[in-house]
């Protein structure tokens, strides 16, 4: 099949696009991507996923966080062409047919947000953490979130939201 | 705002406890923010919008001699180069003084914007700006306000002084003569970067023949509209300003809004195309206006009985190249210079001086973090020399109802600070810990506990009056379309407004919607700053709701055949209190209003209960109401490295009625971390007018691991009679109290006092080392 | 880095599917190409135009460079092993505790999930946190090209800030550590509690025998143009009695050795020197004196 053959062509010269196949929020995608676009820009521009934010474009703030194969990464430090065969999750992929996930419910209940700009990243880090560890301690939570900056909340209610999310997921 | 709104509301609700206000509800922005649906400025993607880039002067002081656009215009993708001559109206965007052009012909700071390059892509805009040939004539530059004040080098036509402020109450000279103890020190409070996660962004779309819509990361939509009208030479009605969600602001987007909106508004109108600007984090750090730095000489006199008798304060502000917000935070600092204490004799002289440093803008606290650091350090110094406990000393002097401020304003009610200090000290186990920590015998660490108090008036300072509007429309099905000019910055204020409206109308909270912030439809509620969103913005909402309610009651009384004052509305049901079985639904009433041609809408409009202090004496009712905070901090100092860990904070506020407890807690915790950053890790470094830290790697804001343990918030609900539900503001107060609490705690831990914030770990380390090598480990006071 | 970030520059992009193919590409392009491992350093450089390669060689398909194993008397770590993988490795915790401790405080989890150990070493920042631990653990690096392979002690690898001996046709494929008796530790001093570069970092390796220092190795980061070993401390402590006194004396000697620069962010050389001493003392005391099993 042509698509399959194309994706085994692992180079791009002269700015040509490459075919990239990946799963995005549960959906299979096949896209033509130029090599010099970050995953961040690609997700925002091409996939219209505005929940993935640009805060600094150099990996120092965390608002561009997405899950790559379940693990948090900085989408501003990845090339879009690097996600071939990968599974990508953004916050748009968490709600299920209009029903909020437990993590989102917890963040609402426990006021884990104020301006909301860092919130998608925080929610994704929560998901990665709770998928790995159902009952994290506060110390473990702090370790997981140390690279996600927040200027509004002082982090307290974010920690409480994560703990609440863990509770809700156990039910 | 002459009505006693608190009383009106209580009467209306027949003295029952509130069913919505004071409880935690689902915030109106909650679902959008946790699902990623919330749109911020950069998320408004407009097809075909040009990217505009600011071309900046690389020198701190220079005249623009010539701009040669030719090469720039030849860069593929570049569609226009705009300079000062292209401005159709007035080239003036000054916030509180008309000293600041949008595009300058004389640069007064490194980064002053000289031209704009608009292009079809980021890269083209970048290249275009590199190809723009600008000839500058460099001028000698001034970086020290002390030098600038007497320098021959003139930074502005009107000289190097942006403004000054005086407070004169009583007779300080005389008072000092009668004092048993006088303490005089010099303090320095430095700059701070907002470092909000959403960088500056704005988008402008020309509309029709003469119109433009501007969307931006701002805090003051109507002011932006006014300024754009000035720049474009149009009427306010020709311009629409839309404010989507804002990703953090803290005052920075108030001062800087005119710059980014001016840029895109101008470019869009000149080029006739949609234009967008997205600041890089680098631009945000390097060029956006920050907290102004102060040098404060503070002299306090007390009598042996522990009463503060007089203060004399001289302070100088580095305003930077343009005054921007300095003419607001300078008087604010002066009017708050007594701290939360009563002093009969007050002499304050403040001056804001132009330099070629980055202009100083608004930042949460607005002059008070700088000033209260000095005030609270003085209080500790005085207490120590009087041999009094610092909390005891503060209680002895704290403002109480009936006291007068330094501007001689009578505070007749809503002065909860004394109660607050007592409660916070108790919560922190103050007395026990002071003793305990002194005996802490670890080899390389010392523990300390310190207190800091603050006050911060709600509402803007001086120059302009402080008004707020609100619009309320009852839909025919009983749901409510509410509209305010107050911006949702994350502080949850628009949710508070909706709660208050629902409470006053007697309907469920989820029947109220807050409309988008669009100057075509939202009333002018003034700026979203100065802790005024709830106290004034919200009171305008209550004003409108009360008026509408009267009309509803009138109709209901007619339908239920009873008196207006016997109407009760609860949870959307309307009934006569004397005949509870007969109910009409609120929906029916709403529909009936339409059928009868009774106006379903109301407009609330109020102004703050305050005047303009006298320019010579600063005396007068400077503000409507004051919010108070008290924070106790526990620290641990590592003697070997100079590092300070803030172990625990005990925050408390007296902010009137708390509309949303969980939200207020979040505000206080967030502000406390901003204060912790201001004290310990956030140093804005500059050299020859250039900001050196231009990334989050070089400007260190607290991470989650830097968060101390935080005790439950102590709230004293000292209701303010003239606001809806008695609420005051709480958006800034906790930041102010935190740095002095930390610095005082450090002194308690290691016996060394620091007179400059942000602290510098090296300074702490070398001070400890020097003191140790001098052999005196228990020296009472060492000054650094 | 001082410059502003921009959109990524243009470059040709190749993804070899084997180490062999990667070496061939390296040979062809040499200085015209940059290797892309985790990307957490390179992408920032590209956006700031601090690197402008014609070609980027993306190594992410070379999965056999991602491993941690013991082979005979060596601990071998594949160059493309991520910092997160190292952080979660019980082998590393057992045999290279200083490295284990260093990695868990580097940057933050999302960056560690991508950043590789070869990338950190080849970036050659004077403050690279993986370097001091590897230096005290006597690490060597294996460098592969189409011309063959060479193994170089890490001590000889760094030449200066962002400079090392890697040839433009080479790839750093493995880090090799001898399995040694003794224990190691790593401490860093930063300006906030997490996610910050080191103001000073120290790694130490200690082996004691009968209350005496049989072997001491100390390395420092962020105090010199490259990560360095401190010969003064090591020599002074060899065969010395394990005591606070001997440690303090040895550490005092370090002061003369160090000449850190003043950085643009105003961390003074004096403070760095003094903190280096404090950290060395702490690292050695922790391992040698308070329950560290050497």
pLDDT greater than 70 at residue B64: yes
Q: Which residues of B touch A61 (CB under 8 A)?
A: 197, 281, 696
Q: Quick one: which of B93, B100, B90, B95 has its CA closest to B233?
A: B90
Q: Which residues of C touch B645 (CB under 8 A)?
A: 193
Contact (CB, 8 A) for B316 and B360: no
Beta bridge partners of C75: C70, C177
Q: Quick one: which of B313, B444, B427, B321 has its CA closest to B372?
A: B313
Cα–Cα distance for residue pair C64/C71, rounded to 1 Å: 15
Check CB contact under 8 Å for B281 and A149. no
Residue B1's pLDDT is 59
List the domain boundaries for chain C: 2-58, 63-178, 183-290
Sign of the alpha-carbon torsion through C108, C5, C159, C235 = negative
Cα–Cα distance for residue pair B721/B412, rounded to 1 Å: 10
pLDDT band of residue B453 (cuts 50, 70, 90) is very high
Q: Which residues of C touch A123 (CB under 8 A)?
A: none
- Quote the DSSP letter at residue A101: P
User: Which H or E element spans position B211?
Assistant: none
Sign of the alpha-carbon torsion through B52, B58, B62, B66 = negative
pLDDT greater than 70 at residue A9: no
Cα–Cα distance for residue pair B726/B716, rounded to 1 Å: 12
Residue C259's pLDDT is 84
User: Which H or E element spans position B136?
Assistant: strand B133-138
- Quote the DSSP letter at residue B651: E
Residue C265's pLDDT is 73
- Find out whether the peptide bond into B19 is cis, omega within 30 degrees of 0: no
Q: Which is more confidently placed, C244 or C69?
A: C69
Report CA dihedral (B585, B586, B592, B593) to the nearest 10 degrees: 170
pLDDT greater than 90 at residue B627: yes
Residue B47's pLDDT is 83
Across A75-157, the runs of DSSP E, i.e. the strands, are 87-89
Degrees, nearest 5: CA angle C88-C93-C97: 130
Cα–Cα distance for residue pair B357/B340, rounded to 1 Å: 32
Question: Across chain B, what does the average pLDDT equal?
Answer: 96
SS in 3 state form for B545-588? HHHHHHHHHHHHHHHHCCCHHHEEEECCEEEECCEEEEEEEHHH
The tens digit of pLDDT for each residue in B363-416 reads 999 999 999 999 999 999 999 999 999 999 999 999 999 999 999 999 999 999
- Our measurement of the distance from residue B525's CA atom to the centroid of its chain's CA atoms, rounded to an integer in Å, reads 16
The tens digit of pLDDT for each residue in B83-114 reads 999 999 999 999 889 999 999 999 999 999 99
Cα–Cα distance for residue pair A44/A123, rounded to 1 Å: 18
Degrees, nearest 5: CA angle B772-B773-B778: 35
Degrees, nearest 5: CA angle C277-C282-C283: 100
Residue B308's pLDDT is 98
pLDDT greater than 50 at residue B142: yes
- State the best of C266, C268, C269, C282 to mutate against chain B, taking most chain B CBs within 10 Å: C266
The tens digit of pLDDT for each residue in B755-774 reads 999 998 999 999 999 998 88
User: Would you call B69 helix, strand, or coil by DSSP?
Assistant: coil
Q: Quick one: which of B568, B733, B720, B726 has its CA closest to B653?
A: B733
The tens digit of pLDDT for each residue in B572-600 reads 999 999 988 889 999 999 999 999 999 99
pLDDT band of residue B779 (cuts 50, 70, 90) is very low
Contact (CB, 8 A) for B746 and B752: yes
Residue C267's pLDDT is 86
pLDDT greater than 60 at residue A8: no
The tens digit of pLDDT for each residue in B707-766 reads 999 999 999 999 999 999 999 999 999 999 999 999 999 999 999 999 999 998 999 999
**Placement of tokens 């509410």 in the chain:** B482
- Picking from A61, A108, A156, the nearest residue to B669 by CB comes out as A156
Contact (CB, 8 A) for B624 and B609: yes
**Edge-first strand listing for the sheet containing B133-138:** B106-107, B62-68, B133-138
What topology is assigned to C63-178 in CATH? 3.30.465
User: Would you call B38 helix, strand, or coil by DSSP?
Assistant: coil
User: Would you call B278 helix, strand, or coil by DSSP?
Assistant: strand
User: Would you call B602 helix, strand, or coil by DSSP?
Assistant: strand
Contact (CB, 8 A) for B677 and B369: no
pLDDT greater than 60 at residue A15: yes
- Picking from C10, C47, C61, the nearest residue to A58 by CB comes out as C47
pLDDT greater than 90 at residue C2: no
Query: For the residues B433-459, what does the mean pLDDT come to?
Result: 93
Check CB contact under 8 Å for B765 and C271. yes
Burial class (CB in 10 A: 0-12, 13-18, 19+), B784: middle
Across B383-422, the runs of DSSP E, i.e. the strands, are 403-404, 410-411
Residue A3's pLDDT is 41
Contact (CB, 8 A) for B604 and B547: yes
Restricting to A residues 102-161, those with a Cβ less than 8 Å away from any Cβ of B are 104, 107-108, 110-111, 113-120, 123, 141-142, 145-159
pLDDT greater than 60 at residue B139: yes
Residue B13's pLDDT is 86
Cα–Cα distance for residue pair C11/C25, rounded to 1 Å: 15
**Percentage of chain B surpassing pLDDT 70?**
99
- Polymer length in residues for chain C: 294
Check CB contact under 8 Å for C5 and B280. yes
- Picking from C10, C13, C44, the nearest residue to A59 by CB comes out as C44
Sign of the alpha-carbon torsion through C62, C66, C72, C75 = positive
Query: For the residues B40-55, what does the mean pLDDT come to?
Result: 94
Contact (CB, 8 A) for C283 and C221: no
User: Which H or E element spans position C166?
Assistant: none
Q: Which residues of A touch B665 (CB under 8 A)?
A: 111, 156-157
A63 touching B (Cβ < 8 Å): yes
Q: Which residues, including other chains, have CB under 8 Å from residue C209's CB and lie 6 or more apart?
A: none
Cα–Cα distance for residue pair B232/B93, rounded to 1 Å: 11
Residue B780's pLDDT is 39
Report CA dihedral (B674, B676, B681, B686) to the nearest 10 degrees: 50
Cα–Cα distance for residue pair B579/C232, rounded to 1 Å: 95
Cα–Cα distance for residue pair B726/B715, rounded to 1 Å: 14
Q: What is the DSSP string of B507-539?
A: --GGGEEEPPEETTTS-----S-TT-IIIIIHH
Q: Which residues, including other chains, have CB under 8 Å from residue B440's CB and lie 6 or more apart?
A: B446, B447
Q: Quick one: which of C260, C120, C111 has its CA closest to C194?
A: C111
A38 touching B (Cβ < 8 Å): no
pLDDT greater than 60 at residue A76: yes
Q: Which residues, including other chains, have CB under 8 Å from residue C264's CB and lie 6 or more apart?
A: B685, B687, B692, C2
What topology is assigned to C183-290 in CATH? Enolase-like; domain 1 (3.30.390)
Cα–Cα distance for residue pair B479/B477, rounded to 1 Å: 6
The encoded tokens of residue A66 equal: 């997405």
For B453, how many CA atoms within 13 A lie in the half-sphere containing its CB? 35
Residue C18's pLDDT is 95
Residue A127's pLDDT is 98
pLDDT band of residue B776 (cuts 50, 70, 90) is low
User: Would you call C106 helix, strand, or coil by DSSP?
Assistant: coil
**Placement of tokens 């108070």 in the chain:** B628
Taking the CA of residue B138 and the nearest CA in chain C, the distance in Å comes to: 24
CA dist C222 → B287, C105, C132, C256 (Å): 29, 15, 10, 16
Residue A119's pLDDT is 98
Cα–Cα distance for residue pair C134/C77, rounded to 1 Å: 11
pLDDT band of residue C264 (cuts 50, 70, 90) is low
Q: Do domains C2-58 and C183-290 have the same CATH topology?
A: no
Q: What is the CATH number of domain C2-58?
A: 3.30.43.10
Backbone angles phi, psi at B613, to 5 degrees: -55, 150
Please give the interface size between A and B, counted as residue pairs whose CB atoms are below 8 Å apart: 161
Q: Quick one: which of B288, B279, B374, B302 has its CA closest to B333?
A: B374
pLDDT greater than 60 at residue C185: yes
Residue B683's pLDDT is 94
Complex ipTM: 0.96
Taking the CA of residue C190 and the nearest CA in chain A, the distance in Å comes to: 14
Q: Quick one: which of B759, A103, B339 has its CA closest to B768?
A: B759
Q: Which is more confidently placed, A96 or B182?
A: B182
Query: For the residues C181-199, what does the mean pLDDT come to?
Result: 95
State the pTM of this model: 0.97
Q: Quick one: which of B428, B371, B419, B378 has its CA closest to B398?
A: B419
Backbone angles phi, psi at C276, to 5 degrees: -60, -45
Strands B467-474 and B480-484: antiparallel
Q: Quick one: which of B283, B281, A77, B284 has its CA closest to C40?
A: A77
pLDDT greater than 80 at residue C105: yes
A98 touching B (Cβ < 8 Å): no
pLDDT greater than 60 at residue B241: yes
**Percentage of chain C surpassing pLDDT 70?**
98
Report CA dihedral (A26, A31, A37, A42) to the nearest 10 degrees: -40
Query: For the residues B663-685, what does the mean pLDDT come to?
Result: 97
Contact (CB, 8 A) for B63 and B139: yes
pLDDT band of residue A7 (cuts 50, 70, 90) is very low
């Amino acid at each position: 099949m042509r698509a399959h053959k194309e994706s085994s062509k692992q180079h791009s010269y002269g700015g040509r696009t490459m075919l990239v196949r990946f799963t995005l929020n549960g959906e299979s995608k096949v896209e033509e991507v130029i090599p010099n676009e970050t995953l961040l820009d690609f997700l925002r521009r091409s996939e219209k996923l505005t929940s993935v934010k640009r805060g600094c474009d150099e990996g120092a703030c965390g608002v561009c966080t997405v899950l790559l194969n379940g693990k948090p990464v900085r989408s501003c430090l990845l090339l879009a062409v690097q996600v071939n065969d990968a599974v990508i999750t953004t916050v748009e992929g968490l709600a299920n047919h209009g029903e909020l996930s437990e993590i989102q419910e917890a963040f609402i209940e426990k006021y884990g947000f104020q301006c909301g700009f860092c919130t998608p990243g925080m929610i994704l880090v929560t998901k990665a953490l709770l998928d790995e560890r159902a009952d994290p301690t506060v110390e473990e939570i702090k370790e997981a979130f140390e690279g996600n900056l927040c200027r509004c909340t002082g982090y307290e209610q974010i920690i409480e939201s994560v703990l609440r999310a863990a509770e809700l997921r156990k039910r | 705002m002459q009505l006693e709104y608190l009383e009106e509301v209580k009467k209306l609700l027949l003295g029952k406890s509130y069913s919505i206000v004071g409880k935690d509800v689902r915030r109106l922005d909650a679902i959008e923010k946790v699902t990623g649906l919330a749109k911020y400025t950069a998320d408004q993607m407009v097809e075909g919008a040009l990217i505009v880039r600011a071309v900046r002067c690389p020198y701190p002081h220079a005249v623009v001699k010539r701009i040669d656009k030719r090469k720039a215009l030849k860069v593929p993708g570049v569609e226009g180069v705009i300079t000062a001559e292209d401005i159709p109206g007035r080239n003036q965007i000054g916030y509180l003084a008309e000293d600041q052009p949008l595009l300058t012909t004389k640069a007064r700071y490194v980064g002053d914007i000289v031209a704009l390059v608009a292009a079809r892509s980021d890269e083209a805009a970048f290249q275009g700006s590199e190809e723009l040939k600008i000839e500058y004539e460099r001028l000698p530059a001034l970086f020290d306000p002390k030098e600038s004040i007497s320098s021959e080098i003139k930074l502005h036509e009107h000289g190097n002084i942006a403004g000054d402020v005086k407070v004169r109450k009583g007779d300080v000279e005389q008072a000092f003569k009668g004092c048993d103890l006088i303490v005089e020190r010099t303090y320095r409070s430095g700059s701070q970067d907002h470092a909000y996660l959403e960088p500056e962004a704005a988008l402008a779309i020309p509309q029709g023949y003469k119109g433009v819509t501007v969307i931006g990361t701002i805090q003051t939509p109507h002011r932006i509209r006014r300024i754009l009208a000035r720049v474009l030479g149009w009427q306010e009605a020709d311009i629409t300003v839309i404010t989507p969600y804002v990703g953090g602001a803290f005052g920075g987007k108030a001062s800087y809004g005119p710059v980014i909106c001016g840029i895109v508004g101008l470019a869009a109108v000149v080029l006739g195309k949609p234009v967008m600007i997205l600041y890089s984090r680098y631009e945000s750090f390097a060029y956006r206006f920050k907290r102004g730095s102060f040098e404060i000489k503070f002299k306090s006199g007390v009598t042996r009985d522990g009463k503060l008798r007089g203060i004399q304060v001289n302070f100088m502000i580095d305003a930077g190249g343009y005054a921007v917000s300095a003419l607001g935070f300078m008087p604010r600092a002066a009017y708050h210079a007594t701290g939360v204490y009563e002093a009969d004799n007050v002499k304050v002289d403040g001056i804001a001086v132009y330099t070629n440093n980055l202009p100083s803008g608004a930042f949460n606290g607005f002059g008070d973090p700088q000033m209260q650091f000095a005030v609270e350090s003085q209080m500790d110094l005085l207490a120590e020399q009087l041999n009094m406990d610092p909390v005891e000393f503060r209680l002895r002097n704290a403002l109480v109802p009936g006291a007068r401020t330094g501007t001689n304003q009578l505070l007749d009610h809503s002065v909860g600070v004394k109660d607050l200090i007592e409660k916070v000290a108790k919560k922190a186990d103050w007395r026990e810990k002071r003793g305990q920590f002194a005996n802490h015998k670890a080899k390389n660490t010392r523990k300390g506990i310190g207190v800091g108090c603050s006050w911060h008036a709600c509402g803007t300072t001086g120059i302009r009056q402080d008004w707020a509007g609100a619009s309320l429309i009852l839909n025919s099905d009983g749901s409510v379309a509410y509209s305010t000019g107050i911006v949702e910055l994350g502080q949850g204020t628009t949710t508070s407004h909706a709660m208050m409206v629902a409470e006053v109308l007697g309907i469920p909270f989820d029947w109220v919607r807050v409309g988008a912030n669009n100057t075509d439809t939202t009333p002018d509620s003034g700026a979203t700053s100065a802790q005024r969103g709830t106290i004034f913005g919200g009171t305008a909402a209550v004003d409108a709701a009360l008026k509408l309610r009267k009309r509803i009651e009138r109709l209901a009384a007619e339908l239920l055949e009873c008196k207006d004052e016997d109407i009760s509305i609860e949870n959307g049901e309307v009934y006569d209190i004397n005949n509870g079985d007969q109910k009409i639904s609120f929906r029916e009433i709403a529909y009936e209003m339409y059928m009868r041609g009774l106006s379903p809408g109301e407009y609330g409009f109020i102004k703050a209960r305050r005047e303009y202090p006298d320019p010579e004496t600063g005396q007068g009712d400077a503000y409507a109401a004051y919010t108070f905070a008290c924070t106790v901090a526990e620290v641990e100092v590592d003697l070997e490295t100079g590092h300070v860990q803030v172990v625990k904070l005990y925050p408390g506020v007296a902010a009137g009625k708390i509309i949303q407890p969980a939200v207020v807690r979040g505000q206080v915790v967030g502000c406390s971390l901003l204060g912790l950053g201001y004290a310990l890790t956030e140093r804005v470094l500059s050299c020859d007018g250039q900001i050196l830290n231009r990334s989050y790697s070089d400007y260190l804001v607290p991470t989650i691991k830097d968060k101390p343990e935080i005790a439950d918030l102590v709230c004293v609900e000292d209701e303010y009679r003239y606001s809806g539900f008695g609420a005051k503001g709480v958006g800034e107060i906790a930041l102010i109290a935190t740095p002095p609490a930390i610095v005082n705690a450090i002194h308690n831990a290691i016996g060394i006092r620091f007179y400059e914030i942000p602290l510098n770990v090296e300074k702490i380390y070398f001070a400890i080392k020097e003191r140790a090598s001098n052999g005196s480990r228990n020296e009472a006071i060492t000054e650094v | 880095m001082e410059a502003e970030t921009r959109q990524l520059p243009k470059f040709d992009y190749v993804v070899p599917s084997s180490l062999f193919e990667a070496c061939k590409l390296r040979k062809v392009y040499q200085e015209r190409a940059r290797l892309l491992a985790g990307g957490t350093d390179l992408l920032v450089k590209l956006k700031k135009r601090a690197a402008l390669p014609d070609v980027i060689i993306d190594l992410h398909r070379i999965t056999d460079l991602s491993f941690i194993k013991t082979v005979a008397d060596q601990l071998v770590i594949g160059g493309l092993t991520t910092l997160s993988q190292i952080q979660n490795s019980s082998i590393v915790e057992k045999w290279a505790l200083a490295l284990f401790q260093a990695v868990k405080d580097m940057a933050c989890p999302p960056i560690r999930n991508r950043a590789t150990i070869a990338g950190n070493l080849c970036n050659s920042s004077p403050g690279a946190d993986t370097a001091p631990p590897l230096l005290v653990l006597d690490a060597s690096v294996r460098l592969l090209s189409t011309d063959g392979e060479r193994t170089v002690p890490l001590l000889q690898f760094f030449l200066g800030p962002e400079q090392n001996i890697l040839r433009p046709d080479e790839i750093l494929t493995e880090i090799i550590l001898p399995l040694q008796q003794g224990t190691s530790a790593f401490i860093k001093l930063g300006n906030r509690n997490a996610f910050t570069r080191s103001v000073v970092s120290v790694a130490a390796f200690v082996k004691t025998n009968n209350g005496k220092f049989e072997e001491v190795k100390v390395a420092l980061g962020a105090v010199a143009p490259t990560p360095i070993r401190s010969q003064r401390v090591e020599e002074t402590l060899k065969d010395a009695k394990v005591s606070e006194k001997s440690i303090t004396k040895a550490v005092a000697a370090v002061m003369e050795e160090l000449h850190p620069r003043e950085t643009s962010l105003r961390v003074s050389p004096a403070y760095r020197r003094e903190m280096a001493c404090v950290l060395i003392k702490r690292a050695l005391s922790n391992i040698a004196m308070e329950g560290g099993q050497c």
